[in-house]
Amino acid sequence: MLRKMLRAGMFAALGMVSVVLAYGAGYAADDKKDEKVPTISEIMIKGHKGTDAYIARIREAAKGEKWDDAKEYAKTLAVFGENLGKNKPPKGDAKSWENLTKKYAEATKAVLKATEDKDAKAVNKALGGIACGECHKAHK
């Protein structure tokens, strides 16, 4: 009886491992193939809007010297920076969009570097380099 239970448990565990491995491999392949570009709205809401946004979280984590947290938030913000320009703006010309999104990407990279360097002053300076008004005036 005990042998049957152990064997059934082992088969169940192997089945679970197989499912997890198959799902993970499929997800990794899909991730490379169909990399989802976050929308402008997703970037603005998750990155900038409110006290739960990445910018606020980075600022707060840096202030409290919680550098691992600050760096994780900054990594996501940098991904947003890399992807914002892949979207089409609601209005405005393409050249302006290209220039402004390039500046945004550079600013988000500077935020990430500052968190990696554990430099709160540089974090605040880099966050200050994210100029929302100029982009919103031209493209929102």
How far is Cα 13 from Cα 129, in angstroms, rounded to an integer?
Answer: 51
Q: Which of 8-12, 54-58, 103-107, 135-139 has the lowest mean pLDDT?
A: 8-12
Say if residue 139's pLDDT is above 80.
yes
SS3 of 57-124: the string is HHHHHHHCCCHHHHHHHHHHHHHHHHHHCCCCCCCCCHHHHHHHHHHHHHHHHHHHHHHHCCCHHHHH
* pLDDT for the residue numbered 7: 56
Taking residue 12's Cβ as centre, other Cβ atoms within 10 Å add up to 10
Instruction: Quote helix, strand, coil % in the chain, to nearest 5.
Output: 80, 0, 20
Rounded to an integer, the average pLDDT of 24-36 is 48
Which residue do the tokens 């709205």 mark? Answer: 41
Say if residue 6's pLDDT is above 70.
no
Say if residue 105's pLDDT is above 70.
yes
* pLDDT for the residue numbered 34: 58
How far is Cα 7 from Cα 26, in angstroms, rounded to an integer?
Answer: 28
Say if residue 78's pLDDT is above 70.
yes
Residue 45 DSSP SS3: helix
Per-residue pLDDT band at 8 (split at 50, 70, 90): low
Q: Which two tokens stand for residue 109?
A: 């990279």
Say if residue 90's pLDDT is above 70.
yes
How far is Cα 136 from Cα 91, in angstroms, rounded to an integer?
Answer: 10
Note if the pTM is more than 0.75.
no
